Amino acid sequence: MSFNHEKPTVKSKKDLEVPCELMYPDDAETFVIITHGFGSSKESATAQMMLHDLPQAGFGAIAYDLPAHGTAEARGTDLTIENCITSLRAVEKYIAERFSFPEICYFSSSFGAYLTLLSFTKNRYSIHEHRGSRAFLRSAAVNMPDLFTKDPDPEVLRILREQGAYTIMDAGPAPVRITQQFFDELKENDLFKAAAEIPFDDLDIQMVHGEKDMVIAPEAAKRFAEENGIPLVMFDGEDHTLSTHPVTPARVSELAIKCFKKK
């Protein structure tokens, strides 16, 4: 079976360039936006898996690079929460207008899941409302601010203080430029507090997490899910990547497709 395969670059209202990869069957009525994690990109194994699995199930799929990640156009954009949500909004708008307002869903990993949840709140970054109401969150970074602000690396803070603008952080497959604004915005955006502004009754959200996740504590994921009535599947023996066991990535894909097929 063949699908349409394109690599557009979407521009936001702030003229941010958002490199994307798009795959879809001609009759797709639902499109899933794939948001990768910190230090990753649309070329990651998970994003590429979903780009291929979702069209097989009848969905359109679009993956994109967050600011300071992936290909050159996005790497040159400052990593701020504002820019990240602006990029997400640009992808939403592109899909909605190009395909005559299909249903939009979200498949979001780690930091990408943090951003997706934050985009559901009413805040200064979300001037325009989210266009979708169904989200599948993989290894969601529900306590993302803690990773950077609770016990910040003194050397990173020193460089930012002395050098200004940004510093480079080695994060996974590729280094990421970290801005002072990013630190400041993380401090302002605790998801556990922001959850009070998320309209969970109007959303269909599911979470999956590894019970041996050393990046985002399973206890934090369980707490967030329980406090907000979100179904959570915990994978025994799995870490943050949800790929320790060869069968797990396919299982995650199956659960996501099942989530998006619900009516």
9 in a structural domain:
yes
Residues in contact with 100: Cβ distance below 8 Å, sequence separation at least 6, in sequence order: none
Non-local (6+) Cβ contacts of 188 within 8 A are none
Structure tokens at 256: 């996501």
Give the length of the chain: 263
Residue 75, domain extent: 4-147+188-261
Token pair, residue 196, equals 């009070």
Q: Is residue 180 part of a domain?
A: no
Whether 154 is covered by a domain: the verdict is no
- How many whole angstroms separate alpha carbon 171 and alpha carbon 243? 18
pLDDT for 150 equals 64
pTM for the model stands at 0.91
| Residue 115 maps to a domain | yes
- Distance of alpha carbon 216 from alpha carbon 210, whole angstroms: 9
Which pLDDT score, from 0 to 100, does residue 171 have? 54
Helices (H), the chain: 45-56, 72-75, 81-98, 111-119, 144-145, 154-163, 180-188, 191-194, 218-228, 248-261
pLDDT 10s per residue in the chain (263 long)?
Answer: 789 999 999 998 778 899 999 999 999 999 999 999 998 999 999 999 999 999 999 999 999 999 999 888 888 888 999 999 999 999 999 999 999 888 999 999 999 999 999 999 876 665 556 688 899 999 999 999 888 766 555 554 454 444 444 455 655 566 788 788 888 899 899 999 999 989 999 999 999 999 999 999 999 999 999 999 999 999 999 999 999 999 999 999 999 999 999 76
Number of domains within the chain? 1
CATH number at residue 49: 3.40.50.1820
Q: Is residue 108 part of a domain?
A: yes
Whether 164 maps to a domain, the answer reads: no
Count how many Cα atoms sit within 13 Å of the Cα of residue 221 in the half-sphere of its side chain: 28
Instruction: Determine the distance from the C-alpha atom of residue 127 to the mean position of all C-alpha atoms in its chain, rounded to a whole number.
Output: 19
Q: Does any domain span residue 162?
A: no
Q: Is residue 256 part of a domain?
A: yes
